[in-house]
Amino acid sequence: MPDALVRILGVRPIAYDDSTGEGENMGAMDELINSSVVSELRSILMGTGPGVDLPTMELSRQSLDGQRLRQRVDVVRDALLQDLPAGYSSVERIFLDALDDPRFTGWMVWPASEVVTRRALQSGAPDDFDAALAVLSRLTVRLTGEFAIRDLIAARPERAIATMQTWTTHHDHNVRRLATEGSRAYLPWAKRVPWLVANPAATQGILDATFQDDSDYVRRSAANHLNDLSRIDPLLVVATARRWSGKPDASTAKVVRHGLRTLVKQGNPEALALLGYSGGRLVVMEPRILHAAIPWDGTVEFTAEVSNEGSEPATAAIDYSIGFQRANGTVNAKTFKLTSRRIAPGETVTVTKSHSFRPITTRTYYPGQHYVVVQANGIASVPANFVVNTKEPS
């Protein structure tokens, strides 16, 4: 399970990895905002002072069944916007007072954080914008402010990024991570901010300040952020990784590897060379699949041969991709790390792997034809097909 989901299920900050994509099955995670959570949030907010009555929020509990997590957030947020005062300062005071209640934690914080940003943007006042950023830096300690902050970045990107830069030296690692994670170009589950995609260099100051952070939680976020930029500006990503590698500490190599993983899977020569991979005359044979059809929740097992036809030793990053059947009949490939191997000139190595189709919270499997591809330094085999059988009725 990605460390992203560890915090999700354990009510600590979400440490997303790119292995979690939008549109995947949320399963039981939809229930993280349920009727009981909404009822408790209502009780907390009503306890912040006289006159805080939340009738729409009470009714919203009836609208959660059958909704996905993101939709549930919207339902609760909109109910709060209906019930709470129209001005920013009153809403800010209510949520800051709620922080005095230890129950105000976990997934109820997500819709609360979005109410804060919505009221600040409705106000339009620069002071309220800055105040909302400060509130998010406090709320993020109770869950995360990475989703709500996207609207603030979209509205006033330079002002938001400048403030987030100051968070990179904050004493709390959750706030430092809000700087790195909230400003990611392709943050999973979050709204896209076109400005971040159009200005990939804008967050370099945040990354340079955090890639050697004391917290692995922050460092991993910085690496994921850098990896996001691979989709926009590979040259910038390689240049950043090279600069970081020039002044390494004990964790730098790991951060750089994680930040370059997409470029490595794509066979980017500069990224491969920076990580010590070499060998341009590799040949990857079609994988041999042990069983062409596997049972529902079974395991596909395969082997593949990788040969070095060059005259120099090769160091190969070997990965594999599974082409997963989707609900609409299309096939979507996802790449996984397999191993690294040193291969002598003329040598052929065999790699073996088993990939489980056991149900997990982050992916829905569908029966039908799938495929597996093995690649070395981005040089791919032809796909080998296999079938996942239909789930038997329980």
Q: Which residues contact 248 (CB under 8 A, 6 or more apart)?
A: none
d(CA 179, CA 194) in angstroms, rounded, equals 17
Q: 356 lies in a domain?
A: yes
Q: Give the number of residues written for the chain.
A: 394
Q: Is residue 101 part of a domain?
A: no
115 and 149 Cβ atoms separated by less than 8 Å: no
* Domain annotation covers residue 323: yes
For residue 317, being part of any structural domain is answered with: yes
Percent of the chain past pLDDT 70, that is, above it, reads 93
Domain with residue 318: its CATH number is 2.60.40.10
- How do residues 170-228 score in pLDDT, each as one tens digit? 999 999 999 999 999 999 989 999 999 999 999 999 999 999 999 999 999 999 999 99
For the segment 346-370, what is each residue's pLDDT rounded down to a tens digit? 999 999 999 999 988 778 899 999 9
> Do residues 157 and 201 touch, judged by C-beta distance below 8 A?
no
Indicate whether 327 pLDDT > 80. Answer: yes
Which of 279, 336, 277, 275 has its CA nearest to residue 307?
279
Number of domain units in the chain: 1
**In the chain, pLDDT over 90 holds for what percent of residues?**
87
Domain interval for residue 346: 282-388
Domain membership of residue 21 (yes or no) is no
Amino acid at 53: D
Tell whether 301 is covered by a domain.
Answer: yes
In a domain, 261, yes or no: no
Q: Helix, strand, coil proportions of the chain in percent (round to 5)? A: 45, 20, 35
3-state class of 299 per DSSP? strand
**78-112 pLDDT tens trace:** 999 999 999 999 999 999 999 999 999 999 999 99
Amino acid at 115: V
**Is residue 294 included in any domain, yes or no?**
yes
pTM: 0.87
What confidence tier does 317 reach under pLDDT thresholds 50, 70, 90? very high
d(CA 93, CA 91): 5
